[in-house]
A and B are shown apart, each in its own frame.
Chain A
Amino acid sequence: MAKVTIDGHMIEVPDGTTILQAARMIGGDVVPPAMCYYSKLKTSGGYCRTCLVKVTKGSEKDPRPMPKPVASCRTPIMDGMEVQNKTSPDLMEARAGVVEFLLINHPLDCPICDQAGECSLQDLAYEHGLSRTRYEFSRRTFQKIDIGEKIKLHMTRCILCYRCVKVAEQITNGRVHGVMNRGDVAEISTYITKAIDNDFSGNMIDVCPVGALTDKTFRFKSRVWNVNPVDAHRNCPTCSGRVMLWMKGPEVFRVTARKDAYNEVQDLPDGKPGWICNECRYDKKSTSDWTIEGPSKISRHSVISQNHYVLQEPAHKPLLNAVKAVPANWQLENKK
């Protein structure tokens, strides 16, 4: 075990824990944003540089500060380490710089992007970005392509987080897409037209932090905040069958894996990541395919939770804490 202090909060964590994981254990504002790191994917992280933190004390043994900001997702903690995230104005400026870099070639087409409302880059830009751009050149663009029968790749929006590559490498058998070229013309591609065809390939959509990979069966069908996510499951021979159904009325608009507070796929009760198969994702679009468990937990800060999750008006107004204790009071609004 090792003690680490992040923005003044001390926590004891197992050896080998990264700064980011430790921060997530503390929770709240202390947690650095992460665009490329994905706890369920090995060797992910380190690329986007949004989770940079300042290590003001290396460890109890060697208290020297680290000379440069470090990627919290890939830096293991040492006993006695002290870390600054929100409390360092320099670091906040550096992070704003990283966000600016991520945005200079991003199309900022949120009004027509299916990811809007559940986009990590949108959240990041809102929290750390400038309200204007200093980049006055034309932006990098690519043609939209079908990278599989059901997946649309809009490379123009990609921030090269490598998550989809790692999904293909780690949870499907046989990767056929990857990163081509280098520098600012690097792109995700199959190089020659080869469809990604694999039972678990759809998870690439779930891990994409931006609108670069989208579900063709859902594209332009609805804004995400106009559909209601509910937890559901089925007996699936291929995957766990534990999913989120995104519904409007009785209609299932799309199926995704269940997500946690960091927009990652939730773990199953056995501790394994809850990836779902393509059959569950694309082919089971009827409520009769599923056993519905109830409304999904959505962060109350998310636009998706807006307008859908209304408190049932109680006969007598209960005390505030009593409401918290009765989640069954939540119900779905049926919009026609």
Chain B
Amino acid sequence: MGKKLLLKNDHITGIQGYDVYRREGGYASVEKALKTMTPEAVVEEVKKSGLRGRGGAGFPTGMKWSFLAKPPGVARYLVCNADESEPGTFKDRYLMERIPHLLIEGMITSSFALGANTSYIYIRGEYYYVARILEKAIDEAYANGWLGQNILGSGYSLDLYVQVGAGAYICGEETALLESLEGKRGNPRIKPPFPAVAGLYGCPTVVNNVETIAAVVPIVNDGGDEYAKVGIGKSTGTKLISASGHINKPGVYEIEMGITVEDFIYSDEYCGGIRNGKKLKAVVAGGSSVPILPAHLILKTSAGEKRLMSYESLADGGFATGTMLGSGGFIVMDEDTSIVKNLWNFTRFYHHESCGQCSPCREGTGWMEKILHRILEGHGSMSDVDLLWDIQGKIEGKTICPLGDAAAWPVAAAIRHFRSEFEDYIKNPKNIRDVKHYYRLNNLVEA
């Protein structure tokens, strides 16, 4: 068994409630931070821990925190990004539903470190029932003196609120999230300024993923150095992986970074191998946005080394032969999966979720979906593959926010690694099952 830092008490009955959580050592990080540490010291521990943002980008959290502007007399905010919407990712829901107090504890300790006196947890609207769980936990925390005025007599005060969204993938982008939290459309902001300078209500703001904030708890409890000992290289600590697709044991697994991908897919401790004795065809390792890799490249790098579950190893080879750890949404596909259809499914998702603000994403995502649909309908031509390649290249890096990149990367990777499959569909349209049904679902009748 690998080391567990976040889910170590996951199996304990009643851990959802305050009493059991507290009995098992909960809220110790708040006591330690507020009673024995300065905010700067907490930031320092997080820096030492090497913790990297668990939402997908993997930016060092301590550095992000240290960028926070601190003009005198201006409020600062910590906003927790619980808008988990990246296809293939469900770890935050698991964590919040199972151990809600871990997130609340992390929010208190982190808010203290950042000097925020009001903090928000922005949770996607579909998780309304989880928001209720969090609200209950927050009420318990207030009742036990962990929130409110002058917490533990330290002079530090914090109010914590849960804010629900209403169905928009784009609100996982931090500036779109802030817009949504301000009661507006979830249109990403144009940067600069960055949230660290002008975020929520124009005030300095840090936005962190649920898992990132939860990880602050063991970091403060055990010290940053101790946390950094777990994991491998610059991928310190543990990571929650949401495993799904054609595997025997889908679910959320806390892994110590550095285990091999092969182990993760095939060992009984984790995914337990491919369902129905099939062979592995491809893996999307970090949520739908990251490049898909064929079996031979996900198990081993192009240099023939075993690929590990870590930021660096998964990215080995760049986009040519590597991918990204991303949000840890690990989608496994067996030998019968159609990569082209799967790509169409992803592309339709990005088309549906584009906010429509900037032209490359607004127009390009729909265009790509239509071309893929044309191929699946049996009307594709070889030039369509090149056209797709060209369009994705014209979206990537040209948009306001990373949704454009997220829409472009899967297309590029599917063509890069599975071009022959596209060509096969185009040459042999009879290989294609009817997808008209699904296209109609999207109310797109043309083409």
Contacts and interface: CB of A to CB of B under 8 A. Distances in A.
Chains A and B in contact, CB within 8 Å: yes
A159 B358 CA distance: 9
Contacts of B352: 183
**Interface of chain A, helix or strand or loop or mixed?**
loop
A48 B353 contact: no
A298 interface: no
Interface residues of B, number: 30
A135 interface: yes
Interface of B: 168, 185, 190, 192, 351-360, 362-367, 370, 387, 393-394, 397-400, 446-447
A41 to B, nearest CB: 14
A126 B362 CA distance: 22
Interface string A97-132: 110111011000000000000000000000000000
A74 B191 CA distance: 8
Given A104-B367, A137-B370, A137-B447, A98 B359 contact: yes
A138 B447 CA distance: 7
> Shortest 6 CB-CB distances between A and B: which pairs?
A97-B394, A186-B356, A46-B190, A101-B363, A68-B397, A183-B354
B356 A102 contact: no
B360 A182 contact: no
A134 B387 contact: yes
Nearest to B366: A184
A179 interface: yes
A184 B190 contact: no
Nearest to B364: A101
A142 B122 CA distance: 35
B363 A104 contact: yes
A101 to B, nearest CB: 4
Nearest to B356: A186
A182 B363 contact: no
Given A98-B360, A137-B370, 9 more contacts: A47-B358, A48-B359, A97-B393, A101-B359, A101-B362, A104-B367, A135-B367, A160-B356, A160-B357
Interface in A35-72: 45-49, 52, 67-69, 71
Interface residues on A, range: 20 to 34
Interface string A261-286: 00000000000000000000000000
16 contacts: A46-B190, A46-B400, A47-B357, A49-B358, A68-B398, A97-B394, A97-B398, A101-B359, A101-B367, A102-B363, A104-B367, A134-B387, A159-B359, A183-B352, A184-B363, A185-B356
A321 B355 CA distance: 53
A269 to B, nearest CB: 32
Interface of A: 45-49, 52, 67-69, 71, 74-76, 94, 97-98, 100-102, 104-105, 134-135, 137-138, 159-160, 179, 181-186
A181 B168 CA distance: 11
A43 to B, nearest CB: 9
Contacts of B185: 179, 182
A183 B399 CA distance: 13
Contacts of B362: 101, 160, 183-184, 186
Contacts of A160: 356-357, 359, 362
Contact of B356 (A49, A98, A182): A182
A184 B444 CA distance: 12
A188 to B, nearest CB: 11
Contact of A182 (B190, B354, B364): B354
Contacts of B447: 137-138
Contacts of B355: 182-183, 186
A173 B394 CA distance: 40
Contacts of B364: 101
By CB atoms of chain B within 10 A, which of A75, A137, A185, A186 has the most? A137
B354 A100 contact: no
